A and B are shown apart, each in its own frame.
Chain A
Amino acid sequence: MRGGRRRNRSFTLKGLAIAAGCLALTVSGSFAQEGIETFEIGLSTNTISISSDFTGARLVVFGALDNADAKLLRQQRYDIVVVLVGPRSPAVVREKERTFGLWINRGSETFDAVPGSYALAATRPLADIARQELRQRLSLGIADLRLDSATTTGAFGQPAPEKPEEAKGQVNVSLAERRAKAAQDAGASPPGADIVTVDDYAEALKRIRQAKGLYNQSVGAVQFVSPTLFRADLYLPADLPTGTHMARAYLFRSGVFIRESSEPLYVRKSGFESYIDDMATRYGALYGVAAVLLAIFTGWFGRLVFKRD
């Protein structure tokens, strides 16, 4: 209901009646797809090659929205959100605490599947497009992005498998654990229920990745070029992770999620860089020997060129 009220604020008087109708739809409607709209997207490229001069890129996502209700379209009641989610991988977030005057990593939290990058473009601010619980369900927007939190541990991380007893002996209660305990003592909701909203570690992860440009979102970057065609501009940073990214477009009609369409994007290193990376991954020791020989040759060659004694 909060979302509905906020939407009403932007309405003109003329649109009030329709707004009321939409609101009813939001409240009563299940998420059954009663719409007849069809929705497809295409990428300006389906492979991005990272070469030695890669300094970031723009990805244009084109989309077609057919069989849309002309009246609703005119009133801009359709909203589109386009995201590009990078390959997911596990991540550990650690927190430094002052200990005997030194800043030392103490608490940590492990996340199972964190997107390496996340770029979002939307027609309007996300809060105006969908209610928070819907955004959470769709894992839409940086604030509501799911990271699949796994475990919270004390200092020294999860015990190393080979020496568990040694590591266990040094576990200290982390700040996060103490906070969680304090919250429980205060009679707050049990952990897990709204852990996402109070998790400092998840917040920090998003904040750091946002500062690096890996996570970004821009409102107004989705625009209709014709009544049925739209385009979205996504910003891809210089240190874009390699792997399979997924471009997803979400269609909303008056705050109701209608459908989504997705398309993969392959990001790979190209040329010399990819060759080096491949060698380092597949033949680690051999690569190391080659690196040593290169160093010795360079040192020897330097002597030859600069013979000064």
Chain B
Amino acid sequence: MNLYLPIAEISLNVFVLVGMGAAVGFISGLFGVGGGFLITPLLIFYNIPPAVAVATGANQVIAASFSGALAHYRRGTVDLRLGTVLLIGGLFGSLAGVLLFTLLRRLGQLDLVVSLLYVVFLGGIGGLMLVESVQSILKSRSQGSGEVRRPGQHSWVHGLPLKMRFHRSKLYVSIIPVLLLGFLIGILAGIMGVGGGFIAVPAMIYLLRVPTSVVIGTSLFQIIFTAAATTILQAATNRTVDVVLAFLLMLGGVIGAQFGTQAGRKLRGDQLRALLALLVLAVGLRLGYELVVTPVERFTITLPTGEIG
């Protein structure tokens, strides 16, 4: 059953779109990532203009993360205080990201920057996480809970001023790295149409040393707002949010997310991290391959603003 999408201006199969949403929703619930880094490339592969895919991806991420965050909130695995500090940085980052998006698109370099960002971040984070989690799995075969947290061990992050206590996360750290992390996530949200979960989750685990269980709920909480800000800014400046498309994706997404959250509880922290690392690496490699392989068509047509014409 095909449906004409009013903003994407293309007629696509409804069931494929809902299915896509469900698959990404499952992963989103499982790992506590919004799934934006998967949905945006998927939409582009399905012929949706990249600009619409980015903005609509941000919109769909809200539903999945809201659903997931609610589940985590009930279980008491959301650190609202940490999430709020991240968010403050995130809102400023989101604004900067959307402005950067508009500028890059006009220069014709948006696709390149987006792909490079994906490759660098996904490749780097995926690689580091994979190495760490595999080590952790091997080490904890006999003992341990699979947590990164090692009491008494401090990194340079813990030496910064303006410290704040986060009870839920059992943390006492400076808010500077938290704000910076939020800002970075916001920029990525604006340019890549992602909630930034795939950056936030590992950064909270490895840099701030937040327990894995709290990280996922907090990340989802933070993503809701960053993605919401991105959606509104994209709609206001670039007119690229397709509500019909977003709704179909959400429909699949919320269903998938419930099952994902359930499945996530059955896995241990280090196993979860290893799986996420593999997924992140796979998407990164796929995008990197596309930059290197000789394109079938070397020319592209856009409007002067960079929109696909």
Contact = CB atoms under 8 A, between A and B. Distances in A.
Interface of A: 50-55, 89-98, 101-105, 108, 110, 114, 116, 156-157, 160, 167, 200-201, 204-205, 207-209, 238-239, 269, 272-274, 276-277, 280-281, 284-285, 287-292, 294-296, 298-303, 306, 308-309
Interface stretch (B154-162, B239-247, B275-283): B239-247
B138 interface: no
Interface stretch (B86-94, B173-181, B295-303): B295-303
Contact of B232 (A280, A281, A288, A306): A288
A303 B71 contact: yes
A291 B106 contact: no
Classify chain B: how many residues form its interface, as a range: 35 or more
A-B pairs, 8 with minimum CB distance: A302-B254, A288-B235, A299-B66, A204-B299, A288-B232, A295-B62, A299-B67, A306-B258
Contact of A303 (B70, B106, B231): B70
Interface string B61-75: 011111100110011
B234 interface: yes
A205 B258 CA distance: 46
Given A277-B7, A280-B239, A285-B236, A296 B299 contact: no
A288 B4 contact: no
Contacts of B239: 280-281, 284
Interface of B: 2-4, 6-7, 9-11, 59-60, 62-67, 70-71, 74-75, 103, 106-109, 111-112, 224, 228, 231-237, 239, 241, 243-244, 246-247, 250-251, 253-255, 257-258, 261-262, 291-295, 297-304, 306, 309
Contact of A93 (B60, B63, B300): B300
Contact of B258 (A104, A277, A308): A308
Contacts of B107: 156-157, 160, 167
B55 to A, nearest CB: 9
A11 B71 CA distance: 81
A299 B28 CA distance: 13
Contact of B309 (A89, A96, A289, A300): A89
A273 B6 CA distance: 5
Contact of A238 (B11, B60, B71, B309): B11
A280 B301 contact: no
B303 A105 contact: no
B4 A300 contact: no
A280 B242 CA distance: 9
B68 to A, nearest CB: 8
B103 to A, nearest CB: 6
Contacts of B224: 296
Nearest to B112: A104
10 contacts: A92-B301, A92-B302, A95-B299, A105-B109, A238-B11, A291-B241, A301-B254, A302-B257, A303-B258, A306-B258
Contact of B108 (A98, A157, A272, A294): A157
Given A280-B7, A288-B234, A291-B241, A105 B108 contact: yes
